Amino acid sequence: MGRVQNAPGVSVVDDDDAVREAIRSLLRALGYIVYTFASAEDYLQSPLLNDTSCLVTDIHMPGMNGFELHHRLVSKGLRMPVIFMTAFPDETVYRLAKDAGAVSLLSKPFDEQTLVSCLDRALTGRGGDITAS
């Protein structure tokens, strides 16, 4: 895993502190600029929406869920690659992620290389099909 040239901003939205910190640490070590948020509402209120090259968001969170967050961003005219994460994958979640145009749906727990591969696909425009990762 090498350093990222012209590091893009990756926003991570997850209500789990440990998940946010693990992803932040990994991506920063790889040279990404990483912004973290404990809720969808915090992210939407931040001044960093336009600095996000890729959004990595949990689906199941208190308050606004990841799908609602994505819908709100689209309604504001903000379109960026999205990687959804969930500890509760099922057929409905896969369908909703696919319908949202997500790059990937990661089933928690996932390994670091899986996230890095998904992020690479997201940032290079090589999204591909939604599959359980």
Residues 15-54 have pLDDT tens digits of 999 999 999 999 999 999 999 999 999 999 999 999 999 9
Handedness of CA 12, 18, 5, 97 (dihedral sign): negative
Report if residue 106 sits inside a domain. yes
The confidence score (pLDDT) of residue 36 equals 98
How many structural domains are present in the chain?
1
Mean pLDDT of 81-93: 95
Report if residue 13 sits inside a domain. yes
Band of pLDDT at residue 100, cut at 50, 70 and 90: very high
Band of pLDDT at residue 89, cut at 50, 70 and 90: very high
Report if residue 116 sits inside a domain. yes
Report if residue 83 sits inside a domain. yes
| Domain housing 109 | 9-123
The confidence score (pLDDT) of residue 79 equals 92
Report if residue 52 sits inside a domain. yes
Band of pLDDT at residue 133, cut at 50, 70 and 90: very low
Report if residue 66 sits inside a domain. yes
In whole angstroms, what is the distance from residue 11 CA to residue 24 CA? 9
CATH code for the domain in which residue 41 is found: 3.40.50.2300
Which residues are within 8 A (CB) of 91 and not within 5 positions of it... i.e. 6 or more apart?
A: none
Report if residue 41 sits inside a domain. yes
Residues 35, 60: contact at Cβ < 8 Å? no
Report if residue 3 sits inside a domain. no
Q: What are the tokens at 89?
A: 């994958």
